Amino acid sequence: MATHRFQFEGHLKELSTEIIRMGERVEKAIELSVFSLVSGDLTSAHMVISQDPEINALEDKIDDIGSKLIATQQPVAKDLRRILISFKIANDLERMADLAVDIAKAAVRLGEDNVVKALMDIPRMGELAQQMTNESIVAFTDENIDLAYKMAKMDDEVDHLHSENMLHLFTHITTDPQSINKAILVAFVSRYLERIADHATNIGESVVYLVRGKKPDLNQ
């Protein structure tokens, strides 16, 4: 029985390790996509786009490990919650990676356009998105409730910055109507970063559910 439990815990650890790896890859994708957007470095943008299948493969691996554990070990209570939450976190991370790809594609279309450089809130949103990605995974691995709840406060800041971006872009369009198409593209980027923060907050909710067995609504 002790050997069986030891093996089971080993597989759970493997699951957490893959989630950490996936989180690190997603955090880097967010960093590079925003950097490419602000700097005009299209090499970074293409790197984000080309590496997305590798992140998708990590989600598949996490799903495979968890599915086999459920099928062969029939876990219950908190062990089962951990596996189910791993599926959910991997899905949130995959969506965050897709959004980073969307930002990278916007960077390719915008090139070195100064519409982005005029929006200083975009880099700050990117920094917050990276931090939230990192800390949401730490919250999961450490079962840190306080860190999980921190996601909600950081999400509020990202939402505020997104609103500010919309105001700045509206002003920009009124003074330079010909830039409307590019301004709309930047508006989408701001929205993508807001959605990344939402997914990180979802991970925070999953952590609270893992520890307490009840899922709060942090994404209000």
- pLDDT tens digit sequence for 121-141: 899 999 999 999 999 999 999
CB-based contacts of 77: which residues, under 8 Å, 6+ apart? none
What does each C-alpha distance from 79 to 73, 75, 103, 160 come to in angstroms?
Answer: 10, 6, 36, 37
In this structure, which topology does domain 2-212 adopt according to CATH?
Methane Monooxygenase Hydroxylase; Chain G, domain 1 (1.20.58)
Give 220's contacts (C-beta < 8 A, 6+ positions apart).
Answer: 152
Question: Does 2 have pLDDT greater than 70?
Answer: no
Q: Which range, 4-18, 118-132, 188-202, has the best average confidence (pLDDT)?
A: 188-202
Token couple for 105:
């594609």
**What pTM does this model have?**
0.92
Q: Is residue 118 within 8 Å of 175, Cβ to Cβ?
A: no
Residue 129 exposure: Cα atoms within 13 Å on the Cβ side: 36
Per cent of the chain over pLDDT 90 is: 65
> CA–CA separation, 124 vs 193, rounded Å?
10
Q: What is the pLDDT of residue 208?
A: 93
